[in-house]
Amino acid sequence: MSARNIIIAVDGPAASGKGTLSRRLATQYNLAYLDTGLIYRAVGRAVLDAGTNPGDAVAATKIAEAMQPDALERDGLRTEETGAAASEVAAVPGVRAALLDFQRRFAATPPGGKAGAVLDGRDIGTVICPDADLKLFLMASPEVRASRRASELRDRGEAAIYDAVLASLKARDERDSGRSEAPLLPADDAIRLDTDALDADAVFQIASELTAKIAEAADEAGRS
């Protein structure tokens, strides 16, 4: 019998380092990786492209219901404009409902014959995968996150003014934490990591030790 599928949930606010950590864990432990923020970004982008207001719940829900996986491959999903639209459409209950099954299916049957899945987002530990084997919640102050995001944007050749990035992050934090449906919240059993004083390697080290234990237990469960 092969090892049991393992699921790791990585949640946290914008630019808290979820993507960097999740990608590294996925590579190290042969897991499939799903950046769930990208799905909301794809819906937000499609809403903007259609000339619709991201606050229009009916239009955003229709677009989310028609979403195909290849929409995650398109350009322009990483911009600040798309991030802001993503956080608006993400507050619409119909949009979240339309995207639920895809995320759960990815976790339960990871593509590519992988040993499990890492999903990062805002509600993975609370709503999408409440039974995940490991739940991590990354935090960092808005100032640290804004400087990380500004240098990320500059590395991609986008103009980034620190003050504007900080203001946009704070607005997004407020919307993501204040919405009634699946707000940004650590699950009760999540391990919280404050990354203000931890670099990417230090965060990976901690998460990797936790994952190694889970992978080992899943392996043993598979053998017995």
| Binding positions for ligand CDP, rule: CB under 6 A | 14-15, 36-37, 40-41, 83, 86-87, 90, 121-123, 172, 176
Identity at 4, one-letter amino acid code: R
By beta-carbon proximity to ligand CDP, the closer residue of 34 and 115 is 34
Closest distance to ligand CDP from the beta carbon of 44 (Å): 7
- 6 vs 90, beta carbon nearer ligand CDP: 90
CA distances from 136 to 60, 64, 122, 190, 199 (A): 30, 27, 11, 5, 16
Pick the closer one to ligand CDP by CB: 6 or 119. 119
Distance CA 77, CA 166 (A): 19
Angle, alpha carbons 150-153-159 (nearest 5°): 85
- 39, two tokens: 């799905």
Q: In what order do the strands lie in the sheet with 191-194?
A: 32-35, 116-121, 6-11, 134-139, 191-194
Q: How far apart are CA 99 and CA 128, in angstroms?
A: 10
Comparing CB distances to ligand CDP, the nearer of 31 and 34 is: 34
Q: Which amino acid, residue 97?
A: A
Beta carbon of residue 48, minimum distance to ligand CDP (angstroms, whole number): 14
Find the shortest distance in angstroms from Cβ 224 to ligand CDP: 34
Name the residue nearer to ligand CDP (CB basis): 61 or 215: 61
Residue pair 138/18 in contact by the 8 Å Cβ criterion: yes
CB of 205 to ligand CDP, least distance (A): 22
Which residue number, 24 or 41, has a Cβ lying nearer to ligand CDP? Answer: 41
- Least CB distance to ligand CDP at residue 134 (A): 17
Helix locations, the chain, DSSP H:
18-29, 36-49, 57-65, 80-89, 93-108, 142-155, 162-178, 200-223
CB of 197 to ligand CDP, least distance (A): 20
